[in-house]
Amino acid sequence: MAIKVLVTGGKGGTGKTFVATNLAYLAARKGIATLLVDADVENPNTWISLGASKPRRIATVYSYRPSIDESRCSLCGKCVEVCPAHALALIPGKRVLLIDTLCEGCMLCMYVCPQRAVNQLMSEVGWISVTRHGPLDVLVGELRPGERHEDLVVEKLLEYLANAEQGKELIVIDSPAGTRLVYKLAKRSDRYVCVVEPTPLSLNGMKRLMRFIDPRKTVGVVNKVGMAPEMERAIRTLFQELSIPWIEIPFSQR
């Protein structure tokens, strides 16, 4: 069974994609059967960093969208009452208005409508793609620009990962920024690489990550060393307190 290594940073811009792509490519070059998974679905660019060919789409990710049949709608407002995302609004005496960008696709509105006036439409929210660079296979999740259903794309990506990992020894996952989706990915990973830069925001993001990531299975990376010595000392202190081994990458403008 392949070892899954999640490369994360708690915030964007720490250098996690740089670390993930280099780790995966070097492992593949050494003869380790490796798969790089780009789960940073809002900005998937591992393949660009590698210089790989444009990924080929193999699946489309869909989300439910309600469509109100005004000829059947009685304007009872039950759909508005149950909507957890407040994506529906009742205009008294006129119509039910859908705020499409807020809809989470839960379908509660369709289930509670006594007039069966809510129809189910499917909206394209993202894609799963594949590419290859030398000995390295790359699996990419991509959210359609302007959409907000990152979780659906990540779930579909994990479904495809279950098949793509066959025959692999190492899976390197480039995580999204933040912590919400990282938590979901962390539960399915065996080891963690936490990339942090010497800024207060990055240090705080690292502390948030350590609330649910096991430090005993973690390696730290301090990126851009030489920019802010005081912050670098604070990061080293945190790693020491958590007994996390780390490496350092010096800052370079090249």
Average pLDDT over residues 118-146: 94
Residue-range definition of the domain harbouring residue 205: 3-61+129-250
pLDDT recorded at residue 236: 96
The reply to whether 42 and 154 lie within a common domain is yes
- pTM for the whole thing? 0.87
Q: Concatenate the DSSP letters of all residues of 90-122 into one string.
A: EETTTEEEE-GGG-----HHHHH-TT--EEEEE
Rounded Cα–Cα distance for residues 80 and 188 (Å): 36
The reply to whether 56 and 74 lie within a common domain is no
pLDDT digits (tens, 9 = 90+) for 52-82: 999 999 999 999 889 999 999 999 999 999 9
The reply to whether 98 and 200 lie within a common domain is no
Per-residue pLDDT at 254 exceeds 80: no
Q: Is the model more confident about 179 or about 223?
A: 223
Residue 124 lies in a domain: no
The reply to whether 51 and 138 lie within a common domain is yes
Number of domains composing the chain: 2
Average pLDDT over residues 20-34: 97
Beta strands in 9-117 (DSSP E): 34-38, 56-68, 88-91, 95-98
Residue 164 lies in a domain: yes
pLDDT band, residue 100 (cuts 50/70/90): confident
The reply to whether 153 and 229 lie within a common domain is yes
Residue 230 DSSP class: H
Residue 160 lies in a domain: yes
Per-residue pLDDT at 21 exceeds 90: yes
Q: Which residues pair with 97 in a beta bridge?
A: 89
Q: Which is nearest to 42 in space by CA: 20, 64, 69, 12?
A: 12
pLDDT band, residue 212 (cuts 50/70/90): very high
